[in-house]
Structure 1
Amino acid sequence: MVLLSFDIEEFDMPFEYGKTISFEDQISISRVGTIAILDLLDKHQVKATFFCTVTFAENIPDLIKRIVDTGHELASHGYYHSDFKPEHLLQSKLKLEELSGQEIIGYRMARMMPVDEREVEKAGYSYNSSINPTYLPGRYNNFHVSRTYFKQNNVLQLPASVSPWVRFPLFWLSFHNLPLGIYKSLAKWAYQKDHYLNIYFHPWEFTDLNDFERFGFPAYVRKNTGEQMIARMDNFIAYLKGKQYPFGTIQQFLKPLIHDVKKQR
């Protein structure tokens, strides 16, 4: 199964590059990108998982309704994107359930940072998708972690997909910077080896990020954003559908395993 997921959040990334951006712009940019994503998913009639911060969800009630009403999964991306406390695990779950009317069973830590699995379990999540099982200097050092899903502390762990053997990451930056044909080949390799593909993106990638003075992003971040990103994702989804790969939410994919986890609690 192809598991597309989108970390929808207030667009605070310019702060990492020494730029300031108003809260209103953080919300509006991510809102535009989220609409572009939903339109693409509607076009291809595929379902995905949206990991959302409470801060963003509170500012886009119409899009939260659209996500739920069109059969996508809503999961937690924390309360805020740039601040984390252990109590936010339960608080974000409860608030997102209140806002959406749906049970929230999945979690992804902002920026795929480590999170205490005991706290994730205590907050009542069934799965956590916060691991990128590769090595990136200054960001990830997870060669020791399983490439594929596993259970830890009664929580299912669903790492992001990487290529077999060399563990080349198939995350959003690879999608922007590799020739699309090479990315497709790596994705196909991972799918055939693991029988699923778990890849993640962000709404702001679907907006134009080329204004260096405004955002401060290096070339590898702003490459193929906006309309180019929309076209590449359109092409990529069509390619996967042409391979007859089924699409679904993470909850659908893990459903048999989630049932066993809940019985053990």
Structure 2
Amino acid sequence: MILLSFDIEEFDMPLEYGKEISFDDQINISATGTRRILDLLTKHEIKATFFCTATFALSKPELIKEMVAAGHELASHGHYHSKFEPADLYSSKKVLEEISETTVKGYRMARMMPVDGAEIKKAGYLYNSSINPTWLPGRYNNLKVSRNMFWQDGVLQLPASVTPGFRFPLFWLSIHNLPLALYQRMCLRTYKADGYLNLYFHPWEFTDLNDRKRFGFPGYVSKNSGDSMVSRMNRLISTFKQNGLLFGTIADSVFEKNINFSVKEKAAL
């Protein structure tokens, strides 16, 4: 099963590079990218999971409702993207459920930072997808954490996919900077080893990030953004479909249908 997910947040990343960006611009850039993602998913007739901050949802409730109406899963990305306290786990879940009129089952911490599993369970979540089981200089070192999903503190932990052995991360920066054919081969190899892929991206990647004066991003962040990212995601999805792989939301795939990521499904490759 291919578990595509997108982290929808107020686009505050330019602040990390010393640039000022208004709150309205943060929201509108993410909203523009989200609509491009929704169009792409509709084109391919597949479903995905959207981890959304309560701040974004309160700013664009109509977009959240449109997303849910299309059959996609809404999960929590916290209340705010740049600050956190344990109470946000419950408050963000409540806001998202009130806007979407659905049950929010999953959580992902902003920037894949650590979060207490016991607090996740206490807030009422079934799963947590806040672990990138690799080493990212200056961000985290999770080389000793399981690459595959596991239970902890009564919550399913669903790490982002990394390659077997070397644990090369298959996250958003990789699809931007690697030759697409290489990235696709790495994804298929990891799928064959694990029986599933958990890949995450952001809506602002689907907008043009090359204005360095405005955003301050180095080339490895802005490379292949905007139309190029739409094209790359389109080709990636097409490759997965050509290999007979299925797509689904995290909650539906793991909990509702109780899909067994087995050797039989790996054999589809």
Regarding TM over 0.5, the answer is yes
Q: How many residues align?
A: 258
> 2: distance between equivalents of 1:230 and 1:149?
29
Give the corresponding residue for 1:137: 137
- Residue 257 of structure 1 deviates from its aligned partner by 9.4
> 1: distance between equivalents of 2:196 and 2:30?
27
Residue type of the alignment partner of 1:77: H
> 1: distance between equivalents of 2:207 and 2:238?
21
Give the corresponding residue for 1:105: 105
> 1: distance between equivalents of 2:197 and 2:173?
16
Give the corresponding residue for 2:41: 41
Residue type of the alignment partner of 1:33: G
Give the corresponding residue for 2:7: 7
Give the corresponding residue for 1:171: 171
> 2: distance between equivalents of 1:136 and 1:153?
25
Residue type of the alignment partner of 1:199: L
Give the corresponding residue for 1:74: 74
> 2: distance between equivalents of 1:91 and 1:25?
24
> 2: distance between equivalents of 1:94 and 1:146?
30
1:119 matched to 2:92: no
TM-score by length of 1: 0.96
Instruction: State which drifts further: 141-150 or 57-66.
Output: 57-66
Give the corresponding residue for 2:220: 220
Please show how residues 49-88 of structure 1 align to structure 2 within 5 Å.
Answer: 49-88=49-88
Give the corresponding residue for 1:263: none
**How much identity, in percent, do the aligned residues show?**
64
> 1: distance between equivalents of 2:257 and 2:63?
29
**SS of the counterpart of 1:151?**
strand
Which ranges in structure 2 are unaligned for 5 or more consecutive residues?
Answer: 259-269
- Residue 155 of structure 1 deviates from its aligned partner by 0.3
Give the corresponding residue for 1:196: 196
> 2: distance between equivalents of 1:38 and 1:60?
15
Task: Please list the CA deviations of residues 81-114 of structure 1 after superposition, one character each: whole Å capped at 9, or x if unmatched.
Answer: 0010000000111111001000001000000000
Give the corresponding residue for 1:155: 155
TM-score by length of 2: 0.95
> 2: distance between equivalents of 1:249 and 1:91?
23
Which ranges in structure 1 are unaligned for 5 or more consecutive residues?
Answer: 259-265
> 1: distance between equivalents of 2:239 and 2:252?
22
Task: Please list the CA deviations of residues 217-258 of structure 1 after superposition, one character each: whole Å capped at 9, or x if unmatched.
Answer: 000000000000001001110110111100000001211698
**SS of the counterpart of 2:231?**
helix
**SS of the counterpart of 2:57?**
helix
Give the corresponding residue for 1:262: none
**SS of the counterpart of 1:3?**
strand
Give the corresponding residue for 1:247: 247
Task: Please list the CA deviations of residues 127-156 of structure 1 after superposition, one character each: whole Å capped at 9, or x if unmatched.
Answer: 000000000111120011000000000000
> 1: distance between equivalents of 2:89 and 2:13?
22
> 1: distance between equivalents of 2:252 and 2:170?
22
Task: Please list the CA deviations of residues 34-83 of structure 1 after superposition, one character each: whole Å capped at 9, or x if unmatched.
Answer: 00000000000000000000000111112111111111000000000001
Give the corresponding residue for 1:89: 89
Residue type of the alignment partner of 1:208: D
**SS of the counterpart of 1:138?**
coil
* Cα pair distance change 1:97/1:255, threshold 3 Å: same
Give the corresponding residue for 1:19: 19
Instruction: State which drifts further: 249-258 or 218-227.
Output: 249-258
Give the corresponding residue for 2:267: none
